[in-house]
Structure 1
Amino acid sequence: MKRIFLFVVTLGLLWQGNVRADEGMWLPALVQKLNIADMQKMGCELSADDIYSINHSSLKDAVVALDHGSCTAELVSPKGLLLTNHHCGFGEIQAHSSVEHDYLRDGFWAKSYEEELPNPGKTVSFLIRVEDVTAKVLEGVDFKTSEDDRKEKIQKASFEIQKAATEGNDYEARVQPLFEGNQYFLFIYETFRDVRLVGTPPASIGKFGGDTDNWMWPRHTGDFSMFRVYCSPDGKPAEYSEDNVPYEPKHHLPISLDGYEDGDFAMVMGYPGRTNRYKSSFGVEYTMNVTNPVRIKARSVKLAILKDYMASSQKAHIQYASKYARSSNYYKYSIGQNKGLNALNVVAKKKELEAKFTQWVSESPERQEKYGDALSIIEDSYKEQRDDLASEYLMETMFRGPELFAFCMNLKGLHEALKSGSSEDRIQLNVARVESRLDEFFKDYDAATDEKVAGALIDVFKENVDPAFYPSFFAEMTKKYKGDAKAFMADVYSKTIFADQVKLEAFLAKPNLKTIDKDPAFQIAESIFRQATILGEIVNRTSGDVVKGRRLFVAGLMEMEKDRKFYPDANSSMRLTYGTVGDYIPRDGVKYDFYTTLKGYIEKEIPGDDEFDVPARLKDLYYAKDYGDYADASGELRTCFTSNNDITGGNSGSPVINSKGQLMGIAFDGNWEAMSGDIAFEPELQKCISVDIRFVLWTIDKFAGAKNLIDEMTVVKSDKKVERDIASTEK
């Protein structure tokens, strides 16, 4: 509901009954209180202090947020070496690729620090500590406080807490709401800004299976890449500099060669993005009937156009590989989520819990006063959906669709400076800001392809949205082009200066207001953003009530089931999940084993196919059975495995840790049969798909010959630590 403009966290609803050990994204700071006893019964040999401590090094110090939580990574050496997923590093790999050096196709391995590649803008954040600040944030606030007063008091208290936490240090602090604003926690981070690409397998390993295998099991994908964290010589965060040195972490994960078997303990630590387990039945219906269908319809059109262009040349494939991957990931996710929500009858189960909640509320006058309106407030917010549908389509077809219009808004500051008659210094400052983005944008941009996307997606918007919500440029398109979006866009793209780097640079050399005002692409961009503002005002009229309804509903649930251990929805803060390695039965007559091997990789080969083309060197190593120290007890090389850990987006790249605190895999996906998991966890089907760390090391060592990277790791086998000499990496 109100996905674009309602800046609140829309959380989900838990299943009834007791929480199983494999469900829940728990705060590591609360593991001692809530989880460690259960974990140890399952085989965990660690203490809570081994997992999270602010007094000495612990597992939390080896697990980091990439780019403030878009993915997770883990430290695997005393010299700042990071492991994450291939798809988490895909943008950087693509950015460094060219026809002459196609790292997407061929892979990349730095043999020395000097060969490692910088990535401006990429960050790594370490969690320093977590503190429950609920009492401070909600001081003077109760259920009778008006929403405006509540918001003001919370913002003021949060600001003061964050300010105090960052005085005299280089930390970042965020006060974040949990349980729909019923609790507040302070998270303090140290963020490093010099992160360099160290290694990546070719896409034929790192992205093996492509879109076909995405979200599916069995998998054979070597989904990993490697980066290194750098710091100033005194160990502090710093912008990229040749004087920077590899960061020496408080803790790095030892790597286990012992593997795992069915039923073995498995723990995942990482930064899951968003779950919605407390979402009401009304919210689930909206997701199924509005959000997902809009995304599926719009992205299917866009992806088909991008795919055609990518197939035209190696250069085109490099340009759009990352864009295509980002868009296709949640296109397929939306299809799977709707299928899963239907199959698991989630809406009916939500309604059943809501009926139980309503009955419980009715049994007490105090509860009626406090929680009586919660569900009706939520329900009312979903009754009128024309504006929401328009918002969803505007986002998918015009914000996430063609690139040109969003790019035009980069000139908004320059436009305002020219319009207001600002000083030449201010004008040139805005010119410099635009110029700094040009090379990066146009390197991966094809105007003819973008024009096709724009024309096709405007048709999608027009066909599915009430004309009352059309942006103003539709009037010109109707009058001059008889509603033909493709003809209209052909004219726009031929006349605009913003789709051509040479024309735009010439304009920036002598900027003037008239040229911007008359540019057709800029006019359309302003029309789109005006419409977004209008829709935002409509949507936000009831946002305060919606926030209140959700907060009261969750507070009531927690009071209704006092003996239950509740966990907060994911919000890009560090979480821990625990469970076991194991197989599953996705449907009648089918049982999936809990691991795959290189044999299955070979069996999937389709020579020349982008998704299933197997590298010749990998085949040579397979047929020679050259697995080195990385084979399992039967002599096979395992590629991937499944466990019942609770994960979601943002967990990509998270370490899968065994009972001794050693790295045994890297999480990279969930399974198709349980795509409902962000809203409703399904304990019999939900699986975390991970790449086996032995396959990762084998790829680095045997396939790539990058033994220098193996040498700086701490590798463990049969409880005997094998210390590698890192001197070679320091030469």
Structure 2
Amino acid sequence: MKRTLITLFLAVTVSFNLLADEGMWLPSLIHKLNIKDMQADGLQLTAEDIYSINKSSLKDAIVALDHGSCTGELISNEGLLLTNHHCGFGEIQAHSSVEHDYLKDGFWALKKEDELPNPSKSVSFLVRIEDVTSKVLEGVNEKMTESERQKAISKVGNDLITAAIKDTHYEAKVKNMFDGNKYLLFVYETFRDVRLVGAPPESIGKFGGDTDNWMWPRHTGDFSMFRIYCAPDGTPADYSKENVPLKPRHFLPISLKGVEKDDYAMVMGYPGSTDRFKTSWGVENTMEVTNSIRVKVRTEKLRILKDYMNTSQKAKIQYASKYARSSNYWKNSIGQNKGLKKLHVVEDKQEIENAFAKWVAASSERKAEYGNALSLIANSYKNNSAQIAQSYFIEGLIRGPEVLGYAYGFTRLEDALAKDDKEKIKKNVARIQKSIDDYFKDYDAATDAKLLASLGYIVKENVDAKYLPEELDVKSKKDLEKRVNKYFKKSMFGNKAKLEAFLENPSQKQLEKDPLYTLSRDVISQYRELAKQQKESVDERTKGRRLFVKGLLEMNPDKKYYPNANSTMRVTYGTVKGYDPADGVHYEYFTTLKGYIEKYDPKNPEFQTPQRLIDLYNAKDFGQYADKDGTVHTCFISDNDITGGNSGSPVINGKGELIGAAFDGNWEAMSGDIAFEHKLQRCICVDIRFVLWVVDKYAGATNLINEMTLVK
């Protein structure tokens, strides 16, 4: 074999030879793939202690928040739930007002009657996982188009879901694994009465703000607490005063022993999305299109939001959650592009592709099955003007101003009015009236008009004119500002009183004449047209990726593979350790409360430190939560594999005890969703002892401490 071919195969082996710290493993398969390695690293549990459908196991203490946006864990026998502060930020903000600013001051329920309901929040427990690949793929073949294939898969999947939840209150999903080469059925039990119990002030829960986001060293007390309620018989129920705290099948005991370097650490949760099988063409597209457009548009969006938030306390409360959601992946995209370039990920992917191509070429059978895989993927990224336009539409018009999405939500009412269906008209009006107060509570029309004009002009300047709605056909930004201001003046969608008056006597004619409603229809219509224009390319890419991943699995039969994250429960394992981010620089594996004092800057809103925390620190009032070194450890890092969705995930020691809650990744490894970087990638976690210190010593919520099982 030629030396170049050996080198290429070694590149593939290195890239896919998974170490203990890489991998988002399915809990139902760790008994086959991982348990021996996990136990060798320090795990003292069995595979069934982690995942079991017959007895209580760790999986029964882990929940998906809002069907996968974050993760939480049960920490008491009374349904007490721990997650991140940023995972509860929307609820904290929604309950806040100028009179009761829980963002600024924090919130603590010292008795259960004080806990705050959140009608739209839910938690889902995993009941079981079933491999249904053979059933799903039984009726498909390579002669099918991608649309035909997906239609057949969806039909079988829906039938499997129906059968799985028959005569139960469960929910189920069939999820695609390994780019369509494997399918699993996930069954869940979802609870809908979830009440806010406790949250530290932003000066603890969001300490460091955007500056420290995705960074290490970190000192953020990123946690909040909720409680799950159920009907008296233990089943899920909507909020009711008659509901009772849930008695979970399992909850996590909490270790007060702390962590040391090289300690075993396991994370269980619901990672949202990774793309470790992405090709070099896909990586280039992510950098040049997705991330670049997101950064460009959101930089302007965040500027406009911040300008308004700086005008008053009310304005800050209104837009705090919206700003946080937008800024999080704005900064992530900046860091990811830097990481992908610095770590030469495109070149690494190209080596894998070259090795794959040589492997395919060595066999006529492989050429017949996989010969077109890479060319299909490469071709799918060519002539991407429609995709670029669609990305600008998403960031600038759909996720930019709120008014277009809100107005478009009236299409169902328009349809009912057109048909003069009085029953549907009544239902739609009632639906809108139910949510109108919440919408306008956190909405400023003048700010939204600025967003529409400014972001709309960015779209106009960067998108081929043939894709633009006629409303954006202007000569200058000033012209668009005038047009948008005129629209808002005439429209009812930026004015609560006008909208309420319309709902009293809704008219199809009035709705169709509304300029912002018309614009929303035009934007969504054009967005859908852009999606249609990309269908052929998307189908090519889907087929090419399916064949490429299938080929890689066949090419390396002795490798242990894990599927990309897709908001299903995963287990990752590794160790507590620091890292060296640059030449001559070493980061320790933990931080302490001293960092709050050192970073404190009274002139910087991101680095405010509560006076009570300063007083407790100076008095060294650490209680039972101090480390053996005499300090309170605030955060620590491990080499666990995580991504978005893992926020709030429990970090568990070898005995199955809670030692922290994961809340972030580190800046140097922002490329990790696409390519895991063993030397640099770290999981940032809030130390559970710091959490308890804040709850007990800072907040005085000893009622919550008394619920927990503490292990000394």
TM-score category, normalised to shorter length:
over 0.9
Matches within 5 A, 1:654-669: 654-669=649-664
CA apart distance, 1:668: 0.2
Other-structure match for 1:702: 697
The 3-state SS of whatever aligns with 1:164 is helix
Residue identity in the other structure for 2:700 = G
What residue is the counterpart of 2:636 in the other structure? Answer: 641
Which 10-residue stretch deviates more, 137-146 or 559-568? Answer: 137-146
Match 1:439 to one of 412, 437, 440: 437
Distance (Å, rounded) in 1 between the aligned partners of 2:107 and 2:74: 20
Q: Deviations over 1:79-116 (max 9, x none)?
A: 00000000000000000000000000000000111100
Q: Which amino acid aligns with 1:683?
A: H
Q: Mapping of 1:111-510 within 5 angstroms?
A: 111-420=110-419, 422-475=420-473, 477=474, 484-510=479-505
What is the one-letter code of the residue matched to 1:691?
V
**Are residue 684 (structure 1) and residue 679 (structure 2) matched?**
yes
Q: Distance in 1 between matches of 2:147 and 2:589?
A: 51
Secondary structure of residue in 1 paired with 2:430: helix
CA–CA separation in structure 2 for the residues paired with 1:463 and 1:146 = 37
The Cα offsets for residues 482-501 of structure 1, whole Å up to 9 and x where unpaired, read as: 97211111111111111000
Deviations 1:612-644 (A, max 9, x none): 010000000000000000000011100000000
- How far the C-alpha of 1:607 sits from its partner, in A, is 1.1
State the one-letter code of the partner of 1:623: N
Report how far residue 472 of structure 1 moved.
2.4
Residue 523 (structure 1) aligned to one of 515, 518, 522: 518
Tell me the alpha carbon deviations over residues 462-518 of structure 1, each in whole angstroms, 9 at most, x when there is no partner.
11111111112234x45xx89721111111111111100011101111111221111
Question: Within 1, Cα distance between the matches of 2:160 and 2:14?
Answer: 34
Q: What's the offset of the Cα at 1:543?
A: 2.6
Identity across matched positions, percent: 60
* CA contact 1:108–1:199 (8 Å) conserved in 2: yes
Letter aligned with residue 563 of structure 1: D
> In structure 1, how many angstroms separate the alpha carbons of the residues matched to 2:182 and 2:14?
21
Range 540-549 or range 113-122, more displaced: 540-549
**Which residue number in structure 2 is paired with residue 595 of structure 1?**
590
RMSD of aligned Cα (Å): 1.2
Q: Classify the secondary structure of the residue corresponding to 1:563.
A: coil
Aligned to 1:70: 69
CA positional deviation for 1:16: 2.0
Deviations 1:54-99 (A, max 9, x none): 1110100000000000000000000000000000000000000000
SS at match of 2:242: coil
After TM superposition, the structure 1 stretch with the greater mean CA deviation from structure 2, 150-159 or 247-256, is 150-159
Name the stretch that deviates more: 514-523 or 322-331: 514-523
Instruction: Kindly provide the CA deviation profile for residues 152-175 of structure 1, in whole angstroms up to 9, marking residues without a partner as x.
Output: 321222111111110111111111
Q: Secondary structure of the equivalent of 1:541?
A: helix
Partner of 1:723: none
Alpha-carbon separation, structure 1, partners of 2:347 and 2:538: 26
Q: Deviations over 1:307-358 (max 9, x none)?
A: 0110110000000000000000000000000000001000000001000000
SS at match of 1:180: coil
Shift of 1:598: 0.4
> CA–CA distance in 2 between the matches of 1:254 and 1:424?
55
Q: Which residue is 1:80 aligned to?
A: 79
* Matching residue of 1:29: 28
Cα-to-partner distance string for 1:507-541 (whole Å, 9 max, x where unaligned): 11111122111111111111101111211110113
The Cα of 1:299 is off from its aligned counterpart by 0.2
**Residue 622 of structure 1: aligned partner:** 617
Of 136-145 and 438-447, the range deviating more from structure 2: 136-145
* Alignment partner, residue 109 of structure 1: 108
Matched residue, 1:539: 534
CA distance in 2, matches of 1:423, 1:136: 42
Equivalent residues of 1:632, 1:638 under 8 A apart? yes
Amino acid at match of 1:114: E
Q: For the Cα contact (< 8 Å) 1:15–1:680, is it kept in 2? A: no
SS in 1 for 2:607: coil
* In 1: Cα distance, 2:604 partner to 2:89 partner: 20
State the AA in 2 paired with 1:460: I
SS in 2 for 1:369: helix
Q: Which residue of 2 aligns with 1:720?
A: none
Residues of 2 paired with 1:638 and 1:315: CA distance? Answer: 34
- Listed as ranges, the matches of 1:4-43 within 5 Å are 16-43=15-42
- Counterpart Cα distance in 1 of 2:154 and 2:44: 41
Secondary structure of the residue aligned to 1:611 is: helix
Which residue is 2:4 aligned to? none
- Cα contact 1:66–1:73 (8 A) shared by 2: yes
- For 1:349 and 1:317, locate their aligned partners in 2 and report how far apart those are by CA, in whole Å: 44
Q: Partner letter of residue 437 of structure 1?
A: S
Deviation for aligned residue 1:145: 4.4
Give deviations 1:212-257, integer Å, cap 9, x for gaps: 0000000000000000000000000001100000000000000000
2:109/2:198 contact within 8 Å kept: yes
- The CA deviation string for residues 104-135 of structure 1, in whole angstroms up to 9 with x for no partner, is 00000001111000001100000001111111
2:7 counterpart residue number: none
Q: What code does the residue aligned with 2:550 have?
A: A
Q: Relative to structure 2, which stretch is displaced further, 228-237 or 484-493?
A: 484-493
Gaps of 5+ in 1: 1-12, 718-731
Give the TM-score of the pair, scaled to structure 2.
Answer: 0.97
Report the Cα distance in structure 1 between the residues aligned to 2:464 and 2:378, rounded to whole angstroms: 23
Deviation at 1:546, TM superposition (A): 1.9
CA distance in 2, matches of 1:312, 1:145: 58
Aligned residue identity for 2:611:
A
In 1, distance between residues paired with 2:106 and 2:562?
Answer: 40
Larger mean Cα displacement after TM superposition, 129-138 or 539-548: 539-548
Mapped partners of 1:482, 1:330: distance in 2: 27
Please give the alpha-carbon distance, in whole angstroms, between the structure 1 residues aligned to 2:382 and 2:568.
Answer: 33
Partners of 1:513 and 1:143 lie apart in 2 by: 48
Change (3 A) 1:275 1:673: same
Deviation, 1:149, is 3.8
Alpha-carbon shift at residue 419 of structure 1 (Å): 2.2
- Alpha-carbon distance in 1 for matches of 2:296, 2:67: 30
C-alpha displacement at 1:14, in angstroms? 9.7
Secondary structure of residue in 1 paired with 2:534: helix
Per the TM alignment, residue 549 of structure 1 is displaced from its structure 2 partner at its CA by 0.8
Contact kept? 1:83, 1:227, Cα under 8 Å: yes
Equivalent residue letter for 1:152: K
Does the 8 Å CA contact 2:457/2:472 hold for their aligned counterparts?
no
Amino acid at match of 2:432: V
- For residues 296 and 174 of structure 2, what CA distance do their matches in structure 1 show? 37
In 2, are the aligned partners of 1:14 and 1:680 still within 8 Å (CA)? no
Give the SS at the match of 1:568. Answer: coil
- Report how many aligned residue pairs link the two structures: 701
Q: How many Å separate the matches in 2 of 1:597 and 1:296?
A: 33
Match in the other structure for 1:96: 95
Q: 1:14, 1:681 within 8 Å by CA — same for their partners in 2?
A: no
Q: Decide whether aligned partners of structure 1 residues 456 and 276 sit closer, same or farther in structure 2, where only a CA change above 3 A counts.
A: same
